[in-house]
Structure 1
Amino acid sequence: MTNQNILQRAKGSGLSRRGFLAAATASMGSLALAGCSPAAQENTLAETGEAPEILEGGEWVPLPCAPSCGGRCVTRGYLVDGVIVRQKTDDFIEDTAENPQYRCCPRGRGSRQLYMGADRLRYPMKRKHWQPGGKDFHGELRGIDEWERISWDEALDLIASELKRIKENYGPEAFFCGISGDGRGGGMGTGGGVTRLLNAFGGCVYVWGTQSYGGMPIVGNTMQGEPWFFGATDTQDEFSMAKAKRVICFGMGNVTWNNWMYVKHAGVEIIVVDPICSPAAQALADRWIPVRPGTDGALLLGMAYHMIENNLHDQEFLDTYVSGFDADHMPEGSDPKDNFKDYVLGTYDGQPKTPAWASEICGVPEADIMWLAEQATSVSPLVMRSTLGPARTDNGQNYAQIFLAVGWMTGNVGIPGGEVSMSHPAMMGSKAMAQSGQNGIVVPKNPICEDPAESAALPFGGYDPSKFYGLPYGHAWDAIINGKVIDFVHGERDIDIRCIWKVGTFAPLNQISGGMKGIEAFRKVEFVVSSDLLMSSDCLYSDIVLPCASLWEAEGGSAAQAIGDGLLIYYGNKVMDPIYEAKDDLWVEAELAKRLGLDPKEVVNVEWKQACFNRVAGTQVMKEDYSDYEPLVSITQDDIDELGVEGQPQDGKIPYKEFVKTGYYRCERSQNDPFVFTPRSGFRADPVGNPLGTPSGKLEIYCPSLVDYMKLYGTEPLVEATPKYRPAKEGYEDTFANWDAKEKGEYPFQMVSTHHMRSMHSFYNNVKWICEAFANNLFLNVLDAQKLGVSQDETVLISSQHGKMLRRVNVTPRIMPGVVLMGEGNHFDVDEEGIDRGGNANALAGGHLIAAGHQPWNTVMVKIEKWDGDPLQPDCVKPARIYDFE
């Protein structure tokens, strides 16, 4: 069957719109955090509205789900004659609290509309008015120019010639290529954030810093003396967390995992502090306390004051395990006046951090601040957890310092059910029951730029002043536009970027803050090339666009990966041939290598089929007696010969073919297994015999090593050794023209941008059914809407210092007054007046250099005006970007 016929047939075989919306609606309920309900799943499968023969002669096959969302849940498709005509999720086991099903969300259920949609890129394309050579590239037309279909040979020849020209004239530092990696599918295609080709060609410039972690990593490393990664050393598993009597969670995203439901069903009280009441908070929280973005630190200091004044804190714990809380426990050689307690009380700066002081800043009533302090100290064990969102602010490092200090005041460290952690809302840290194998792919080393993704050098404490790390997040677009970059302790240096490369890498216009500056940077350089599944924002502003094969089209499938604390190992089959002329990004790199005079095997050393086999063969699971790991799959010589790969026979838990066919292996946990995990229990039991990796061996509230490390960045450190509140740039205080008089300025609202149920970064927001179920409109509080005179679904103009956007509004009580929310990920659609009609939150964000290179997504000031032009169409009826040239 031809690709065109497959697409035509797919149009009539989709999940019915009504069935999809039923499943999506179910996901918003209290049970939805584990996925859609079984009843919704049955409705989805039963309600076809089509000829019954479409379901004849097929089979259920495992599918790879989105690799970047953090879920990677079980997704299965019903394959009939090369077409996935149905999807379903985890029905392998009975759904229990201890071992719940891994059900996929509406995005996973909408994968067919993404992979088989009419807006898939079909052919290589060239921008009409772009010409090679660096002179007639007409960058001002990027984003609005017409497109021409070209052949693969022409596309590859043009790309290779431009790479040669730019390297010869400007050197390898002229290539900017986001991030690197060795995997596959860093978006939804088969690239995986790779820069193998450019590395082998002489190198390129990366971006450094953190996209998601905010100001947490360096603070977590230095104050706790342990490697911080998503809070893995702080967080306990659900069986230990269920022993808590209360959870206080600062921030809670729209998506969470099944283990949170186990904690909820165990009767643990959950309090959520967040500007928005997300679907997860709706389902989990016993109480929601709204707080202004970027002011959580002030709230915490108000809590600390109430604790100290009423002797609610755990002084014995602080005396034994913590350095720097009060003057009597400061490190030798430090000024005793710099202790945290006296800062909170205002002993030396004259400003007591009272609940009244905090309330004026954070917007939480004084009584609620005192109540929250009492909730944090009246029970034990207690979990105090911060998710990533509150630290995605200009003052995120200050917040992280304060959060740890106040959390430690409760004494809930190293005891079952006790936890003070900075992590993802879904993260539960347990010993892995399974370990994924290595794929065998070797990425050539970049000779000119250190790879932060590979070495984890910068956010995790390994800065080397002899190395060049590239462009910092928040400053990357300025560096490209102005030709200057801050190079840590070396100060400002020249940088001359001539090419932006997005073949198999992440989506820079969506993932690097300051989107309107990003468009300016894209238009400035001589050459931009992108590969993708569809006409994303980056592709729209490129010169050559390459159609990328999806994960469903990957030769060899999607390699085994252990997820969910190593409890689920999944594998996705190749289920169809690439649509139209789409090609694997690995193939693209190998073909370009030939044209550049490189050995393709040095660029792509392992074919993906072999890489998938390597990973499956190397995956291990825990033995039944928990004594050690053993191979997951048994492999015979016949398996190896049939696959046409290299390998050795081995004995494992299940046959290789069985695992590939089911695509699923489950490791079961229980309350009494030896992997129930309590962070820092050894330190709590014997702090002298089991010291932490800090200079004092203790948890350090007063942490001069943090200041010393921050100085290496060559910018303002933004932190002091003692945790202190610092108003955020473009934070709440900056919304006032006159703070003392409480006179609001030009941009009176604060905007936050979050992951949204309808998209996984820049993917899925083009799927119309998901767009209808989860309209990514501007969340606006009811009281603010009344003052502005706008109603539900009306169009408003949102403006910041950095850009403008039109959006329909969602009037709701689930967001704090004075705060608005936009889900991230929509594609840019900027008109001739510079207004983004696509709803990309990054159009309003303003990237700026923060010392540790994190991105201030949640400190953005905006104004909102009722739009008097034509109303904006809902995204679900907006015409798709289709390029068929037929």
Structure 2
Amino acid sequence: MKNNDLPRDAVRFPSVNDSIDRHGNGYRRRDFLKIIGTAAGAAGLVSVGVSVAPEKAQAFAYEPYYTDDQLTTVVTSCAHNCGSRHVLVAHKKGDVIVRLSTDNGEYQAGGAYGKDTFEEPQLRACLRGRSYRARLYSPERLLYPMKRVGARGEHKFKRITWDEALNEIAQKMVQLKKDFGPTAILDQSYAGASYGVLHKSDQIEGLLGRFLGMFGCRTNSWSVPSYQGTTFSSRMTFGTIQDGNEDDAFAHSKLIIMWGWNPAYTFHGGNTFYYMRMAKQRGCKFVLVDPQYTDSAAVYDAWWIPIKPNTDAAMMAAMAYHIFTNNWQDQKFINKFVLGMDAGTLPKEFAGKENFKDYILGTYDKQPKTPEWAEPICGVKADDIKKLAEMYARTKPAALKASWSPGRASYGEQYNRMAAALQAMTGNIGILGGCAEGVGKAWHSESVAYPYDENANLWWASIKSDRWAHCVLNYPNVKREEVGLWPREDNLDGQIPNIKAIFWQGSDWFNQLTNINKEIKAIDKLELVVCMDSTITPSGIWADYLLPIATHFERHDVALPWYKGHYYIHRPKVIEPLGESKTDFQVFTEMCYRLEQIDPSLKNLGQRYNPRAQRDYFQNPDAVDEAYLKAWWDGSVQHHQHVTMSWDEFKQHGTYKFKLSEPHVAFRDQVTKGVPFETASGKIEIFSTYLAGIEDWTKTQFGYEIPYIPKWIEPFESLNHPITKDYPFHLISPHPRWRTHSIFNNIPWLRETYEQEVTINASDAKKLGILTGDTVEVWNERGKCVVPAYVTERLLPGVLVLFEGAWMDPDKDGVDRAGNPDFLTLDNPSPAGAFAYNNAMVQIRKTDLVHRPGWDDLAVARSSVFRRDM
């Protein structure tokens, strides 16, 4: 959008070379510097002790700078999976947001400026949320439907109308379904850019799954990149992923073990640091088990135990050994609540099977899992393993927070299951200040405002998300275990999907899944790729059609907390959608009407998909969206959660914060009231009756056998693997603080705080002649990327850290110049679905190859290629 295309009341911010006097007249930069210099000289002539009355400021640094009483204030929220969703307060002039603030305590019933209590803390946005104006009005903002006119990935698109885009996509969908069957279209939605109770991109409940399911052509992506191994562990052990406490429970812990967890960067619940700081003030001790010494460890003065990546289950097994042999386990808790911890708690029907204690003591395999056994595997001294085991077993209550990160590896589920075994054997489950967290979902929200349909979210095949490229490249010569094909009870069971199209809705998965070079090879075999987003993402560059989606500032919705946090935030339409943006719900509704015109078998598809709407919904969605949201509030929220605040009051205040009578603790009712756990046995299943009962693993989505008790299994690649002869460094790719995955990567404000770089230990860097700031190449047989180096002693030797989410920029040879680690990661299938993000063995050296740090740093915004044909 050019300056002269802005709305009449839009604010044009001056450039860095502009200077403005108090009357709004422009000085030339040279004159302005002269004035500053003269003033500075005059100031130097004032004698010490002489009082000079300061003048009242007559102007801001630039004008116009509106004060709050000149602006309209609207309460809304963030929308992404950063670890929480918090209040954003938009201050707008006309239809332009000129600044953002956050919760100050007054945007709730009974609120007042400055209110911030233990029961109702402020929901303050982080820097990512506060920077959102830069994303909203970014040069990369997608404003019009676009169609590819060059090769995929060549950046060549032309502007087309919505009619052209939707008609062409609908025609192609019907053709693909007819020619290749009901598995031809792959659903790769996720909650990247569209997440609320109404406008939802999500693998399970989302609008795309509903759309493709009702159309009758959908291959689902069943695994979640962030925590699939953890999800498996929680379901096998507890029968649910709702195994988390609300974060206020941390304030009551006497020991917090941050296992692979850096809450300064990846909090789960927006007030995590507030409550952990409270625990620290009350005398809580902190431990960090992690290859790198993190900012969180520094803040809490934690005991840092550096560990070789992906060897966590071995160290935990050794801790269990030390606890068992010293008889420190909580046997009373085990006998009452745990299945298969030892011979006495083994189910009768599995009496001859190995139990967890037998495995730890080496009864069957003749290898006791002693701390001395674990030391060479994990690189942690046996004495440190013993010390931590004693601290955890003999401190009550203690919180072992097993973060998702170590589980993002081959056999990552074994780490999470081993952590659950430690949590159970010490009796730290279901008590205030303890912790059972794997997935960590806590308070339950009513999450869907649109109606269910009997055909919604159906799929005719479901594969592991990052195995789509393998499936496409090798079809039909693919085994189900290679792609994690989910079993079905019909004639499609076992049949490999013939994928010919991808829909990306609210996801930048092409940039975010493992082994990107393999994806690049596969995408040219597809006949249709549609990207629905508000921003021109790296995924969009490889699409055939780009559909501009309204941001959460430009549609009506309600924000949910993200796994933790007991509140709702009203999300009104703050401004009208920029350009020709539409909501996902508008696009899918209109697509349904067009599909039913092409295919008579889809009779009334539009009305069934969006029963409250008429055909004009594509142009006028506001009344319908309001009706859905009010019905959701009046029904689900007020009825099920006993909220007395009316919908109109909620809209007026902006937030609703639940006041709980006591901190929410996962499984408190099971431990104190005898409520059964949600497993088949009604107990915590360290011995999984489900896994023990599987006879033919080839008929499952896993494909390979998974132990029915937690065990240490050597990962695909590690520092203990022979591959170190060629690739001696273990690369891990944790989440950064300044991005949410790839979202916000193009925000200059945030890029000023951090540069994408690879962190290397000082001793390793010295051997290789690498200094901080040197450009290096990091590579393995899967790919290569180029980044600057950062040298530190806060990292275990032999380990490299390269944060995930950088917007890829491959050259003609497939070398990524932006530093995206997923050019190096494995897409091999871990049986329980864990993604091997942290499993890459690599080599590193100084290089003359070019590093291009980001789209925003280029002389001309790369978005210009999307504007030239308008």
In the alignment, the residues of structure 1 paired with residue 712 and residue 273 of structure 2 have an alpha-carbon distance, to the nearest angstrom, of 31
Aligned mates of 2:304, 2:197 — CA distance in 1: 34
TM-score (norm 2): 0.82
Partner of 2:844: 864
1:181-235 CA-partner distances (Å, limit 9, x unpaired): 99954899986652244334332211112322232233323333x3x22xx2x33
Secondary structure class of the residue paired with 1:773: coil
Q: CA deviation at 1:83?
A: 1.5
In 1, distance between residues paired with 2:576 and 2:854?
A: 33
CA positional deviation for 1:15: 13
Residues 1:530 and 1:692: Cα distance change in structure 2 (over 3 Å):
closer
Contact 2:250 2:275 (C-alpha < 8 Å) held by counterparts: no
Q: What does residue 162 of structure 1 align with?
A: 172
Aligned letter for 1:569? Y
Equivalent position of 2:516 in the other structure: 515
Aligned to 1:724: 711
Distance 1:496 1:263 in 2: 49
Of residues 591, 601, 607, the one that matches 2:607 is 601
Provide the residue aligned with 2:183 in structure 1.
Answer: 173
Partner of 2:377: 361
Q: Does 1:795 align with 2:775?
A: yes
Q: How far apart, CA to CA, are the structure 1 residues paired with 2:172 and 2:473?
A: 20
Structure 2 match to 1:475: 467
Residues 237, 684 of structure 2: 8 Å contact kept? yes
- The question of whether the paired residues in 2 share the 8 Å contact of 1:444 and 1:602 is answered with no
Structure 2 gap segments, 5+ residues each: 19-57, 106-113, 598-603, 614-620
**Secondary structure of residue in 2 paired with 1:63:** strand
Deviations 1:21-63 (A, max 9, x none): xxxxxxxxxxxxxxxxxxxxxxxxx996311454473122223
5+ residue gaps in structure 1? 18-45, 130-140, 451-467, 635-655, 738-743
Give the equivalent residue in structure 1 for 2:29.
none
* 2:587 match: 588
Q: Is the 8 A contact 2:855 2:861 kept in 1?
A: no
Q: Does 1:439 find its partner at 2:441?
A: no
In the alignment, the residues of structure 2 paired with residue 125 and residue 187 of structure 1 have an alpha-carbon distance, to the nearest angstrom, of 28
Query: Cα distance 1:212–1:410, how it changes in 2: closer, same or farther (>3 A)?
Result: same
Matched residue, 1:265: 278
Q: Which residue of 1 aligns with 2:116?
A: 95
In structure 2, what is the Cα distance between the partners aligned to 1:621 and 1:262? 33
Letter in 1 for 2:715: A
- Please tell me whether the aligned partners of residues 441 and 606 of structure 1 are also in contact (alpha carbons under 8 angstroms): no
Cα distance in 2, alignment partners of residues 173 and 627 from structure 1: 37
**Match in the other structure for 1:49:** 61
Alignment of 1:621-660 (within 5 A): 629-633=642-646, 656=648, 659-660=650-651
1:255 maps to 2:255: no
Equivalent-residue separation in structure 1 for 2:514 and 2:693 (angstroms) = 27
Letter in 2 for 1:160: A
Q: CA deviation at 1:582?
A: 2.5
* 2:830 is the counterpart of 1:850: yes
Distance in 2 (CA, whole Å) between partners of 1:547 and 1:79 is 23
Distance 1:397 1:391 in 2: 6
Read off the aligned partner of 2:177 and give its amino acid letter.
K
> CA offsets, 1:756-801, max 9 Å, x none?
2222223211111111113232222222222222122222111133
Q: Which amino acid aligns with 1:727?
A: E
Residue 242 of structure 1: aligned partner? 251
TM-aligned CA distance change 1:874 to 1:530, over 3 Å: closer
> Hey, what does 2:54 align to over in structure 1?
none
How far, CA to CA, are the matches of 1:14 and 1:369 in structure 2?
Answer: 57
Aligned AA (2:139) = A
The structure 2 residue matched to 1:771, chosen from 747, 751, 757, is 751
Instruction: Pick closer, same or farther for the CA change 1:585–1:402 going to 2, 3 Å.
Output: closer
C-alpha separation between the residues in 1 aligned to 2:207 and 2:861? 28
> For the Cα contact (< 8 Å) 2:197–2:560, is it kept in 1?
no
Q: Which structure has the larger Rg over C-alpha atoms?
A: 2
For residues 120-131 of structure 1, what are the structure 2 equivalents within 5 Å?
120-129=141-150
Aligned counterparts, 1:412-423, within 5 A = 412-423=428-439
Match of 1:722, SS?
coil
> Cα 1:350–1:535, aligned 2, differ >3 Å: closer, same or farther?
same
* Structure 2 Cα separation of the partners of residues 595 and 682 of structure 1: 51
Once residues 246 and 768 of structure 1 are traced to their aligned partners in structure 2, the CA distance between those partners, rounded to angstroms, is: 39
Match status 1:713 vs 2:700: yes
Give 1:727 deviation, angstroms. Answer: 0.5
Provide the rounded CA distance (Å) in 2 between the counterparts of 1:714 and 1:474. 14
Of stretches 702-711 and 824-833 in structure 1, the one that deviates more from structure 2 is 702-711
Taking the aligned partners of 2:454 and 2:667, their CA distance within structure 1 comes to 38
Of 201, 205, 208 in structure 1, the residue corresponding to residue 222 of structure 2 is 208
Tell me the SS of whatever aligns to 1:474.
helix
Provide the residue aligned with 2:656 in structure 1: 665
Determine helix, strand or coil for the equivalent of 1:524.
Answer: coil
Are 2:85 and 1:75 equivalent residues in the alignment?
A: no
Q: What percentage of residue pairs aligned between the two structures are identical?
A: 29
CA separation of 1:731 and 1:239: change in aligned 2, threshold 3 A: same
Structure-2 residue corresponding to 1:61: 74
SS at match of 2:226: coil
Deviations 1:247-275 (A, max 9, x none): 22312141323144224313222222222
Q: What are the Cα deviations for residues 622-669 of structure 1, in whole angstroms up to 9, with x where unaligned?
A: 999x997134225xxxxxxxxxxxxxxxxxxxxx1x543542233345
Contact 1:176/1:500, CA 8 A, preserved across alignment: yes
- Mark the CA change 1:47 to 1:74 in structure 2 (over 3 Å): closer, same or farther: farther
After TM superposition, the structure 1 stretch with the greater mean CA deviation from structure 2, 583-592 or 613-622, is 613-622
Are residues 237 and 683 of structure 1, via their aligned partners in 2, closer, same or farther at CA, if it must alter by over 3 Å?
A: same
Q: Which residue identity does 1:473 align to in structure 2?
A: S
Q: Does 1:394 align with 2:410?
A: yes
Match of 1:332 in 2: 348
Question: Cα deviation per residue 1:494-552 (whole Å; 9 max; x = unaligned)?
Answer: 432222222x3423313433322222222211222222222212211112222222221
- Please state how far the C-alpha of 1:392 moved relative to its aligned partner: 1.6
User: How many residue pairs end up in the alignment?
Assistant: 779
Deviations 1:46-91 (A, max 9, x none): 9963114544731222233123323111111210122111111111
Report which stretch shifted further, 867-876 or 62-71: 867-876
Larger CA deviation: 143-152 vs 236-245:
236-245
In structure 2, the partner of 1:43 is none
1:7 Cα shift?
Answer: 11
Structure 1 match to 2:500: 498
**1:150 counterpart = 2:160:** yes
Distance, in Å, in 2 between the alignment partners of 1:627 and 1:846 is 44
Q: For 2:287 and 2:83, how far apart are their aligned partners in 1?
A: 23
- 1: CA distance, partners of 2:207 / 2:635: 28
Q: Secondary structure at the match of 1:161?
A: helix
Following TM superposition, by how much is the alpha carbon of 1:10 offset from its aligned partner in structure 2, in angstroms? 5.0
Whether contact under 8 Å (1:510, 1:761) holds in the other structure is no
In the superposition, the TM-score normalised over structure 1's length comes to 0.80
Q: Contact 1:16–1:48 at 8 Å: present in 2 too?
A: no
Distance 1:299 1:118, change over 3 A: same
Which residue type is aligned with residue 881 of structure 1? R
Distance, in Å, in 2 between the alignment partners of 1:832 and 1:182 is 29
Asked if 1:346 corresponds to 2:337, the answer is: no
**Do 1:756 and 1:776's aligned partners in 2 also have CA atoms closer than 8 Å?**
no
Query: How many Å separate the matches in 1 of 2:334 and 2:201?
Result: 49
The whole-number CA distance in structure 2 between the counterparts of 1:771 and 1:475 is: 32
Question: Does structure 2 conserve the Cα–Cα contact (< 8 Å) formed by 1:273 and 1:288?
Answer: yes
- Superposed CA deviations along residues 817-859 of structure 1, whole A, max 9, x for unmatched, are 2222222222221110111123323222221223233322222
Residue 754 of structure 1, CA deviation: 2.3
Matched AA of 1:605:
P
Deviations 1:385-428 (A, max 9, x none): 2121122211112222222222222222333333333234xx6x
- Aligned mate of 1:112, from 116, 123, 133: 133
In structure 1, C-alpha distance between the alignment counterparts of 2:762 and 2:676, rounded to whole Å: 51
Shift of 1:874: 6.3
Q: Does 1:568 align with 2:570?
A: no
C-alpha separation in 1, matches of 2:743 and 2:9: 22
